[in-house]
Amino acid sequence: MALKSVIVYFSQTGNTEKVARAIATGIKSTNNSCTLTTLKEVILKKLRDYDLIGIGTPVFYFQEPCNVRNFIARLSFLKDKLSFVFCTHGGQDANTLARMAKGLKERGLLVLGGLSTRGYDSFQPYVEFDYSKGHPDEKDLKEAEEFGQKMVKNYGLVKEKNQLDILPEFKFRFSLLHLASLWLTEKRVNRHLPKIEVDRENCTKCGKCAEICPSEAIELNPYPVRKGDCIRCYYCEKVCPQGAIVVNWGPTKRLLGYFRICDRAIKAPFKIFRAKGD
């Protein structure tokens, strides 16, 4: 009987969607089926109908965004299902895959593998640096396709031959940025990242921001009002046709620059030590 798989993904600029489609192509090349659905459109109870479940996300603030984390938290009813995780990132995936895998394991799912792929970082404070510009490229998508094929193979080894020893450990790695992902809880993200303001003189109340909001955290009343479940993606600022969503990025750029400088300073002695040992 053919394997039935589904990939649930969150994608804003299209990077994660490209990777999701490439993985699906890899799965289908093995004569198995694969359905693609966005996080916003997924119907939870229908996930029971699938043998293999993939979850993909961009990396936000060195971790999976809270809408993806909250989605994983609701999957306890899929105990003993097989799954895989993947993410896209501009420069640092930190422990995103390990965090996602941990969340799935805590709800009783088995995780067959994980894939981390570079994708152009369009986060406003990083745009000027062109992190991972041009990614995911042809090579990245080929690797994603091969990953999909590997997940089918791993599914067979675990489901049919009970080879649980092939399951990856997803060990947590250490660096200052990884510690930052632990420090940046949802509350701290909301507290320390810049506020989203609305320029009422330029706002035409077109509703574009509410339409594209991934967590449905914006409503018109009559101007855009942000509710508590905002994931701080700031996508509303990018797409506002009037430039009426206003964000002061100055303090955030300085904070992120501090993290990068400290991370390089911590890594430098270890690089020197390794060079001397070569």
109 and 236 housed in the same domain: no
- Residues 78, 193 share a domain: no
Domain check: are 187 and 254 in the same one?
A: yes
Q: At 3, phi and psi to the nearest 5?
A: -75, 135
The sign of the dihedral angle between the CA atoms of 117, 214, 238, 59 is negative
What mean pLDDT is reported for the chain? 86
Residue 173 lies in a domain: no
pLDDT digits 0-9 by tens, 217-252: 899 889 998 876 788 888 898 899 999 999 988 877
Q: What 3-state class would DSSP assign to 35?
A: strand
CATH code of residue 50: 3.40.50.360
**What is the distance of C-alpha 119 from the center of its chain?**
11
Peptide bond into 222 cis (omega under 30): yes
Q: Which stretch of 59-73, 183-197, 202-216, 256-270 has the lowest confidence by average pLDDT?
A: 256-270
- pLDDT reported for residue 176: 67
Domain boundary among 166, 191, 213: 166
Residue 4, SS3 per DSSP: strand
The CATH number covering residue 209 comes to: 3.30.70.20
SS3 45: helix
pLDDT band at 277 (very low <50, low <70, confident <90, very high): very low
In this structure, how many other beta carbons lie within 10 angstroms of the beta carbon of residue 172? 13
Q: How confident is the model at residue 278 (pLDDT cuts 50, 70, 90)?
A: very low
Range of the domain at 8: 4-166
**Same domain? 30 vs 108:** yes
Same domain, 8 and 146: yes
Q: How many domains does the chain have?
A: 2
Residues 97-152: tens digit of each pLDDT:
999 999 999 999 999 999 999 988 777 766 666 667 888 999 999 999 999 999 99
The greatest distance separating any two alpha carbons of the chain, rounded to the nearest whole angstrom, comes to 65
Name which of 23-37, 113-127, 139-153, 169-183 the model is least confident about: 169-183
**Domain closes at, from 166, 190, 212:** 166
141 backbone φψ class: left, alpha, beta (φ>0; ψ -120 to 50): alpha
CB count within 10 Å of CB 173 equals 10
Take residue 260 and report the two structure tokens written for it.
């990068």
Q: Are residues 104 and 83 in contact, defined by beta-carbon separation less than 8 angstroms?
A: yes
The residue among 166, 199, 232 that closes a domain is 166
Residue range 32-52: average pLDDT? 96
Q: pLDDT tens across 56-103, in order? A: 999 988 889 989 999 999 999 999 999 999 999 987 788 899 999 999
